[in-house]
Structure 1
Amino acid sequence: MPQQPPIADYAFLSDCRSGALVGRDGSVDWWCPTRFDGPSVLGRLLDPRAGHWRLAPVTPGRVERAYRPGSLVLRTVHHTATGSVAVTDALAAGPGARGHELGLNSPAVLVRVVEGLTGRVPMRLDFAPRPEYGRLTPYLHERPDGSVLATAGPVVLALRGGGPLRVAGDRVRCDVTVAAGQTVGFDLAYGAAYGDPPARLDPVPTLADTVRAWEAFRETHRYDGEYADLVRHSATVLTGLTYTRSGAVAAAATTSLPERLGGDRTYDYRYSWLRDFAMTMRALWVAACPEEADRLFAWAARSAGRIGEAPVPVLFGLEGERELAERDLGHLRGYADSRPVRVGNEAWRQRQLDVPGEVILAVWRLHEYLGETFDTEIREMVVDLAEEVAGTWRLPDRGMWEARDAERHHLSSKVFCWVALDRAVELAPRLGKRADPVRWAAIRDEIRATVLRAGWNEQVGAYTGVFGSAELDASALLLPLVRFLPATDPRMRATIAAVERELGAGDGLVRRWPTDPAAFLMCSFWLVECLVLAGEPERGRAVFERAVTHANDVGLFSEQVDPVSGAQVGNTPQALSHIGLISAAWRLTDPATD
C-alpha cells in the first residue's frame, strides 16, 4: 500500500454544511457531502481503498498553495518542467449566496478549475468514488453529455468536466493538456438515490460566485487587535466548521486521525461539544462574528433542552441529536494503520461535571447582549444547570479529557462547578423567582475551599489534575482564565511554572499530562494567557509566536503536534486549536479581557 500523506499536507474546503480535505498532491481524500458527520464518499484519508479524486500534473513538480483571501477556496500552483498550472478547489456556495447565507442552500458540489499559467502541462484526473465510508464500489455510467454517473446504494455522484472522461474498471480517468491562458473546469455533484438529482453547475462561474460569497462573509469579521491576519484566518476556519442550518460548530472535520501514529486514540470529532461552547462563543465575539455567535447560542439552548435527572449532555449531533452511539468501521485500515476507525463518540454517555459551568459562563459573557430580562428558555436553562451542579458537584466524573477508564475527582471539573455557581449568583437578578443565590453562594464557597485544599499537592508544589494525584495536568492553567485564582497567586505561579517546566515540550508546545503522546495546541495558548495575566506578556508573546509556527502551509492546525518530529497529529482542522489562537491573541491585545 502507498504511504499516506502527512496530516499537515491537507487543506480544508467547506460549504458550511460539509467538509473536504485536499492534499498537496491534488487528491481529495475526504468528503462527506451530506453534512460534516455524514458518511464519506471519498475516504482515502482513512484507507487507501476508500475513495479519492486526484487532479494533478502527470509529472509532479514544485507546489505552492494558498487560500483566496478571506475564504476557504484553495489555489494550488504546480510548477513542472513543461509549464505551470493553477488548480482552484472549492465546495460550491449556493447560487447567489452571500455572507451568512453561506451553507443554507449548499448544492453539495465540489468544483475544481485548472488554469494554464505558462507552457503546456499534461494533467491527469483519477476518480475512484467509494460511498458509505468505502463500503460501496459504485456502478459507473458514461452519459451522452460526456459526464459520468456513479450510483451505489443511497448515493448518486455526477462527474462532469472539460476533458474526455472515460470509465476504466472501477474508476474514471481523464487526460488533458492545459496550455497557458486555457481554463478547464470539473465538478463533482452529490445527489440522493431517491431524492433530488445532483445539481448541474458550470464550474468556472460557480467558483467565482463562491469566492464572492466568502468575501462577503469576511467583510463581517472586523477584528483589529494584535495578530489580525492570524485571527481573521482562524475565524474563517471556525466559520468553515460551522453547520449553518443549526449554528453548531463541529469540533473538527474528520474522524479517527490518531493522537499517535499507529495508536488507538482515534475518535470521531465531527460533532459539537457543549464544553467548547463558551470558548467558541468568546472566540467568535473577539473575532467580531456576532451573528455566528448568536446562532451558536440558540443551537446550544435548544439542544440542551430541559435539564432532567440524567447528567447534562456533553455533546450533540449538528442538529441537536443526543444518541451518538460509537461503532468501529472494521473494514478500514485507519490513517497510518491507526485503528479502530470510529463513527460516533461514546463520550455522549459520560458524566462531565465541568459542562454546566461552561454553558453558564457563556451566558454570563453574553449577558449584556441578551438584555436586562432573559427569555424563559435561558432563565430555565441557567437555573436548572445551577441546581444540577449544586446537587452533583461532589461526584467523580470523566473530566474534560473524557477518560474512558474510570471516574475521578478532576480539578478542572470542580473548578467549573465553582464557575457555574459563581456566575449564576451574578446572573441571579435576571433569572426570576427560581433563582437561589444565597444557597448557590454558600455551595460555591464550599467548592472553592475544597479545591484549594484537595487540589493542591504539597510534594509536587502545584495544583494537579485529580484530587490526591501527583500527576500534573495542563487544565490547571484554566484557573486564572475563569477568575478562580489570579495568575499572580503564589500557588498559581508555582503551578504555571511546573506546567511549563514539566509539560512543556519545547518550541511553544505543552502536553496535557506527562505521558501524553503529543502536545495539545490549546494548552499552549492557555499558557500564553496565563503568562500575560502573571505580568509576563513578552514571555507569553514568545510562546505564542513559537506555537503558531506549527500551522501548516495554509494556516491550519490539527489537534496536536508530535514534539519530536513536529508532525501534526489528531483530527483536523481542530476548532479548539484555532479558538485558542484567537483567545491568546486577544489576551495579548487586551490583558483585562474576560
Structure 2
Amino acid sequence: MVAAATTSLPEHAGSERDYDYRYAWLRDQCYAGLAVAAHGPHPLTDAAVRVATARVLADGDRLRPAYRVDGGPVPDESTLPLSGYPGAADRVGNRAGAQFQLDSYGEILELLAAAARQDRLDRDGIRAAHTAVAALRANWSRPEAGLWELAPAWWTHSRLAAVCGLQAAARDIRTHGADRWRELADTILAETRRRCTHPSGRWQRAADDPRPDAALLRPLASSAWPAGAPLLGATRRAVERELGDDGFVYRFHSDDATELGGAEGAFLLCGFFMSAACRAEGRPVAAARWFERTRAATGPAGLFSEEFDVDRRRLRGNLPQAFVHALLLENAVRTASVPGGVRGVRGARGSAGVVRHAR
C-alpha cells in the first residue's frame, strides 16, 4: 500500500512544498492493519503484518521508514523536465526514505501485538517483534526525524509511540523475555517524562521545544498507553486550544511564525487523532463531533487528501492519502461502539460547511 497515488500536488498553488508519496511507508501499513484489526480479523491486517515483518527481519536497526513497493530503497528526490501542478515542479523520489524514524518500531510492535491477540502471528512475526525491541533498546535515545520527517531531534511522540508498542507487545505476544519489554517501556517513559514534560503539566513537542504537537495524541489514545499515566487531558486541551481551528486540527506551529493555515492546511490525520484522544479521555460526544467534522472534509469522490484548507474549504496535497483513510476506519468502529458515539450526535452532516464547532 503506497501513501498516495499521486505526486507533486503542492499544499497550495504557487507552493514549492510538493512531495512524491508513491512509496510504501511502514507506518501507513501499521495504521491500516490496526484499523482493520479493530473491526476483526481480516486479510488486510495479515498483509500489513507480512510487509512489516519482512522489512524488520531484513533491516533490523537500519530500518527505513519507507520503501518502494518491491521492498527496494526509495530513490533520492529529483525533478523532471515536465510541467507540474501550477507553481510546482514535477518531483520524484523522497528524502524520507533514508531517514531514521524511531516511532516506526513502536507502531510495528502494536501491529504485531494486534495480530497476536487474534491468534494470527506466526514465528516470523514473533522474531520480528524481538528484532524491533532490540532496535528500540539500542536506539531509543538517539535524535531522529520522527513522524513529521523533520530535522533530527528528541521528539516526544517517537518515545511515547515506542512505549505503547513495547507495552502492547509485552501484553499480547507470548514469548520468552516479554516481561523485560515492559521494563524497557518504563525506562523510556521515565526519561521522556523527565525531558519532555512541560511546566504546565502536559507533554511538549520535543525535549528542546515546549510547544504542543498533535502527533502526541496518537500514543496517548492507544489502548496500550499505561493505565493511569498522566498528561492526556492537559495535552489534548493544549492541542485543541493552540492548534484547533473551526473543528479541524493543525500539526504544529511553524518555526517561521507563519499563522496556522499559511504554510499548510489542517492535517486530517490529526483530526482523527483528536477524536481518539477525546474518546480515551471519556468524552464520547466530543469524540464523535471531531470525527464527523474531519470525516466531512472529503472531495466529491469521498476521498481524503492529506490536508484541508479551512478558510477556502478545499483539499490540499496528494490524494487519496492512505493514513487518513486508515484512521477513519479505526475511529468509525471505536466511536460507534461507545455510548453517545456517532449515532448519538445530533446535527452531524456530511458537509464540511455545516458542523461549525467541535467542542
Query: Does the pair score TM above 0.5?
Result: yes
Task: Specify every segment of 5 or more residues in structure 1 that has no aligned partner in the other structure, as ranges.
Answer: 1-248
Map of 1:2-13 to 2, 5 A cutoff? none
- Which residue number in structure 1 is paired with residue 174 of structure 2? 429
Q: Select which of 22, 30, 47 maps to 1:270.
A: 22
Relative to structure 1, is the Cα distance of residues 484 and 534 closer, same or farther in structure 2, using a 3 angstrom cutoff?
same
- In the alignment, which of 84, 97, 110 is matched to residue 334 of structure 1? 84
1:258 and 1:264 in contact (8 A); partners too: yes
Tell whether the 8 Å contact from 2:304 to 2:324 is kept in structure 1 after alignment.
yes
Shift of 1:287: 5.1
Tell me which residue corresponds to 2:350.
none
State the partner residue of 1:588: 335
Cα distance in 1 for partners of 2:136, 2:284 equals: 35
CA 1:409/1:485 → structure 2, altered by over 3 Å: closer, same or farther? same
Structure 1 485/496 Cα, relative in aligned 2: closer, same or farther at 3 Å?
farther
Aligned to 2:352: none
**C-alpha spacing 1:591/1:481, structure 2 compared with 1 (3 Å):** farther
Q: Is the 8 A contact 1:278 1:359 kept in 2?
A: yes
* Whole-angstrom distance in 2 between the partners of 1:393 and 1:327: 28
Give the 3 Å change call, closer, same or farther, for CA 537–441 of structure 1 in structure 2: closer
Separation (CA, whole Å) in 2 of partners of 1:336 and 1:298: 39
* Structure 1 residue 348: Cα displacement: 1.4
Bigger relative contact order, structure 1 or 2 (CA pairs below 8 A, ≥6 apart): 2
Structure 1 runs of 4+ with >6 Å offset:
none
- The equivalent position to 1:509 in structure 2, one of 248, 256, 272, is 248
Q: Per-residue displacement from partner, 1:176-227 (whole Å, max 9, x unpaired)?
A: xxxxxxxxxxxxxxxxxxxxxxxxxxxxxxxxxxxxxxxxxxxxxxxxxxxx
Contact kept, 8 Å, 2:291 with 2:331, in 1: the verdict is yes
The 5-angstrom pairing of residues 192-271 of structure 1 reads 249-271=1-23
Distance 1:325 1:493 in 2: 41
Cα separation, partners in 2 of 1:490 and 1:270, compared to 1, 3 Å: same
- Residue number in structure 1 paired with 2:234: 494
> 2:348 — aligned with what?
none
Choose from 198, 202, 209 the match for 1:469.
209
State the percentage of identical aligned residues: 29
Does the CA contact (< 8 Å) of 1:307 and 1:381 recur in 2? no
In structure 2, the residue matched to 1:197 is none
**How far apart are 1:278 and its partner, in Å?**
2.2
The structure-2 alpha-carbon separation of the partners of 1:541 and 1:429, relative to structure 1 and needing over 3 Å to count, comes to closer
Q: What displacement does 1:438 show?
A: 4.6
Q: 1:401 aligns with which of 148, 153, 161?
A: 148
Report the residue type matching 1:527 in the other structure: M
| Aligned residues of 2:113 and 2:173 also touching (Cα < 8 A) | no
* Partner secondary structure for residue 251 of structure 2: coil
Deviation at 1:567, TM superposition (A): 1.4
Residue pair 1:307, 1:384 contacting (<8 A) in 2 also: no
Higher strand share: 1
Q: 1:300 to 1:429 in 2, by over 3 A?
A: closer
Task: Give the CA deviation at 1:302.
Answer: 2.4
The corresponding residue for 1:532 is: 279
Q: Tell me the residue number matched to 2:356.
A: none
Count matched residues: 330
Shift of 1:359: 0.9
SS in 2 for 1:470: coil
> Cα distance, 1:288 vs. partner?
5.7
Tell me what 2:67 maps to.
Answer: 316
Q: Deviations over 1:7-47 (max 9, x none)?
A: xxxxxxxxxxxxxxxxxxxxxxxxxxxxxxxxxxxxxxxxx
Unaligned runs of 5+ in 2: 255-262, 340-359
Secondary structure in 2 matching 1:554: coil
Alpha carbon RMSD of aligned pairs, Å? 2.2
**Preserved CA contact (<8 Å) 1:303 1:316:** no
Letter in 1 for 2:181: W
State how 1:109-124 maps to structure 2 within 5 Å. none
Alignment match, 1:567? 314
Q: Secondary structure at 1:513's aligned position in 2?
A: coil
Q: Helix, strand or coil: the match of 1:462?
A: coil
**Are 2:104 and 1:365 equivalent residues in the alignment?**
no
One-letter code aligned to 1:441: R
CA contact (8 A) 1:304 1:313 kept: no
Q: Which residue of 2 aligns with 1:294?
A: 46
Q: Do the aligned residues in 1 keep the contact of 2:268 with 2:294 (CA within 8 Å)?
A: yes
Encode CA deviations 1:506-534: one digit per residue, 9 max, x unaligned. Answer: 1x210000235210001001111111222
Q: CA deviation at 1:381?
A: 1.1
Change beyond 3 A, Cα 1:427–1:360: same
How far, CA to CA, are the matches of 1:456 and 1:480 in structure 2?
Answer: 14
* Inter-CA distance 332–505: structure 2 relative to 1 (3 Å threshold): farther
Give the whole-Å Cα distance in 1 for the aligned partners of 2:276 and 2:113.
Answer: 20
The CA deviation at 1:412 is: 1.0
Question: Following the alignment from structure 2 to structure 1, what is the Cα–Cα distance between the partners of residues 296 and 123?
Answer: 46
Structure 1 position 352, deviation (Å): 0.5
8 Å CA contact 1:386, 1:420 repeated in 2 = no
Amino acid at match of 1:503: L
- The superposition leaves residues 121-169 of structure 1 with CA deviations (integer Å, 9 ceiling, x where unpaired) of xxxxxxxxxxxxxxxxxxxxxxxxxxxxxxxxxxxxxxxxxxxxxxxxx
Q: Is the 8 A contact 1:261 1:569 kept in 2?
A: no
Q: How far has the Cα of 1:535 moved from its partner?
A: 1.9
**Residue 490 of structure 1: CA displacement?**
6.0
What is the aligned partner in structure 1 of residue 191 from structure 2? 450
- Picking from 278, 297, 304, the partner of 1:557 is 304
Could you say what secondary structure the match of 1:517 adopts? Answer: coil
Distance 1:370 1:296, change over 3 A: same
In 1, Cα distance between the equivalents of 2:172 and 2:332? 28
Give the residue type in structure 2 aligned to 1:480. L
Distance 1:546 1:429 in 2: 40
SS of the residue corresponding to residue 468 of structure 1 reads coil
Contact 1:353/1:393 (8 A) holds in 2: yes
Verify the 8 A CA contact 2:4 2:318 in the aligned structure 1. Answer: yes
Bigger Rg, structure 1 or 2: 1
1:328-349 residue CA offsets vs partner (Å, 9 max, x unmatched): 224123212123x321222111
* Aligned mates of 2:30, 2:192 — CA distance in 1: 22
1:496 and 1:477 map into 2 onto residues whose CA distance is 7
The structural deviation recorded for 1:489 is 6.4
Structure 1 Cα separation of the partners of residues 310 and 3 of structure 2:
23
SS at match of 2:313: coil
Give the counterpart of 1:414 among 151, 159, 162: 159
Structure 1 counterpart of 2:249, which letter? V
Q: CA deviation at 1:479?
A: 3.0
Distance, in Å, in 1 between the alignment partners of 2:82 and 2:8 is 11
SS of the residue corresponding to residue 332 of structure 1 reads strand
Q: In structure 2, what is the equivalent of residue 378 of structure 1? A: 125
